[in-house]
A and B are shown apart, each in its own frame.
Chain A
Amino acid sequence: MSYEASKKYPMQPVPFHVLKMQEEIPDCYTLTLQPEFNVVSSFSPGQFYMLYVFGHGEVPISVSGNSFEMGTLMFTIMTIGSVTKALCSVCVGDVVGVRGPFGKGWPLEQVKGRDVLIIAGGLGLAPLRPLIYHLISHSADYGIITLLYGTRTPDMILFQDELASWDDRDDMRVFLTVDSAGSEWHGHAGVVTELIEKIGIDTVRTTALTCGPEIMMRFTAHALLGKGLAASDIYISMERNMKCALGHCGRCQYGPHFICKDGPVFAFDQVEYLFKVREV
């Protein structure tokens, strides 16, 4: 199927085959997918695709790979439900269905010339990785890049080798924390917001981009606001139930927003009032 056909029938998945399958941490895999046919598929960091396993169903997954590597797509998936379980059970050569890309990604233009503070929680690092790739390959356009990354335990830390290589760079610093760990862990223990206290932030020059569980993003946003960052300089990536990604199924509504087309990335000032409402 051509790209045009997928525009005409936006609910039809396009077949991609599994080029590579890599276990990242327990129950979490990165799939590298390549289109079966000539499909143009370029994405912007922070955007997502709908991934389909034949007969099992479809789920929204953010891209975790590099947007400059044309021709393949990478997704880092945790086995949570039946479809993600099926996705993590595929073998190299198997075919999965792909629709996308969808949504608005990270604000690459708005952060130009600014310090970028990236705050990730758990699997939330995956949708931020394409952003990091973008920033470090255009590092002249940006100020200091800081990554604060928190997971529950040390064995849940994603992309360990890359984290080390990022930290080695002159233009980037990386700080890790875990909620709990044994005596073998010599790093910081505690929630990721504690790291905000530990680092110096130039509140005027900094834009913060955060992705993780909603409660983590809530506390992160409030900590940053407390530091003096403007709500419009804080970005979050939201998640809701989603069936179509086209703005038609209505499920991903978040106040006036459709997460699938108005998000998933929002400036915090767009959604701050909704964060104060329960069950919205």
Chain B
Amino acid sequence: MNQTQQSHCLDPDDFGILLKILNEKGYLTVGPTRRDGAILYDVLESMYDLPIGWTDEQEAGIYRLKRRDDNALFGYNVGPHSWKKYLFPSKTKLWSATKKGAGFEIDGEADAPPTYAFIGVRACELHAIQVQDKVFMGGIFQDPIYTGRRQDCLIVAVNCTQAAKTCFCTSMQTGPKVNDGYDLVLTEIIDEARHYFVIESGSDVGADILKELTTSPAEQDDFQAAATHIENAKKQMGRTVDMTDIKDVLYHNYDNKRWEELEKRCLACGNCTMACPTCFCSNVEDVTDLTGEHAERWRTWDSCFTMDFSNIHGGSIRASIGSRYRQWLMHKLATWIDQFGSSGCVGCGRCIAWCPVGIDLTEEVKAISDSEEGDRNGTHQDN
């Protein structure tokens, strides 16, 4: 255990103090709130903005909130929002410019973004942030908007102690336990005797904040209880994906019949790409005001499910919906590995729950792998 790693027990009633400390340090605390029948990320002004005593029920195409019989602060899994809404906002002005003589001049810099403290980041979500870090900060060009929001962002992670039926982080090796990249991590423990958090620091900043909290030292029993609760989430994991040779399996299956089945089912609504915490594709639009003297460039989230996405002179490259679903799935699980060295899927299950027709990525991968198995054993043996 290094110096920054300290473990303590925190009373849930004192959770608000953590938020207060963060606010006093200048952080804008954002995290899960209950709104419109879902758990959405928004500003947390107090701990009572958290969905205390609520949980969610998720299945393919299904998401419902329901009451718990306790007052858990983090007794639910991931909802339709992800942290990309803060780091990679859905609509951002990249710059504005004013006409000057025959030319134009880019206007001054935009206001600095707030310094965020993300409250309640799950293990899969932390992995998703790290995946987007590689996209926006790991290449030849760094995205100044993402970088500006990410660099001083504080992460208060939460270990999952239950899993949704749509969860498969264990298959993706991204959870349910948080391993790195956090400032503080909490495990919420609720048993017959007590309701409390085991809180651990993962950075110097986190350790300093931890010192300011009223806590009691964590004992061996507390670590054991935390481990048991996390183990519980593993046992509840609703779905699995066999990731063995996944890249090769998919690369071999550009022509699989399954894509034609998806052509019939997928509505190309793009929900999966909006809910996905790693999807990063964007559109750029240049606009002017009515005088024509002032121009702006806006970046908005985009989806590979739209016709416009692949449009070049002569039409859309991916005219069929099946080819668009294939692009998305191939990218998540295969080409992403070549592009960024890791899977683009973190196993959060959002795309499954938020698909209006309940298309299940894990089921599609299995169908393709199974048919590959058939190919290997039979039809293409001579190849």
Contacts and interface: CB of A to CB of B under 8 A. Distances in A.
B80 to A, nearest CB: 21
B311 A241 contact: yes
Interface residues of B, number: 52
Interface stretch (B3-11, B53-61, B63-71, B284-292): B284-292
B274 interface: no
B201 interface: no
B254 A277 contact: yes
A219 interface: no
Q: Which of B103, B282, B297, B331 has the most CB of A within 10 A?
A: B103
B310 interface: yes
Contacts of A247: 135, 139-141
B313 A81 contact: yes
A279 interface: yes
A244 B335 CA distance: 20
Nearest to B294: A55
Contacts of A93: 102
A277 B255 contact: yes
Interface in A251-265: 251, 253, 255-256, 258, 261
Contact of B282 (A52, A94, A249, A279): A249
Interface string A68-89: 0000000000001100000000
Contact of A280 (B105, B144, B297, B323): B323
B95 interface: yes
A243 B95 contact: no
B281 A240 contact: no
Contacts of A241: 309-312, 317
A280 B323 CA distance: 7
Contacts of A8: 144
B338 interface: yes
15 contacts: A9-B144, A10-B142, A11-B297, A15-B103, A54-B104, A57-B286, A81-B313, A94-B102, A95-B102, A239-B312, A240-B317, A241-B310, A249-B282, A255-B335, A280-B254
Interface in A54-72: 54-58
B143 interface: yes
Interface in B128-147: 135-136, 139-144
B320 interface: yes
B304 interface: yes
A250 interface: yes
Nearest to A11: B94
B310 A278 contact: no
A17 B319 CA distance: 38
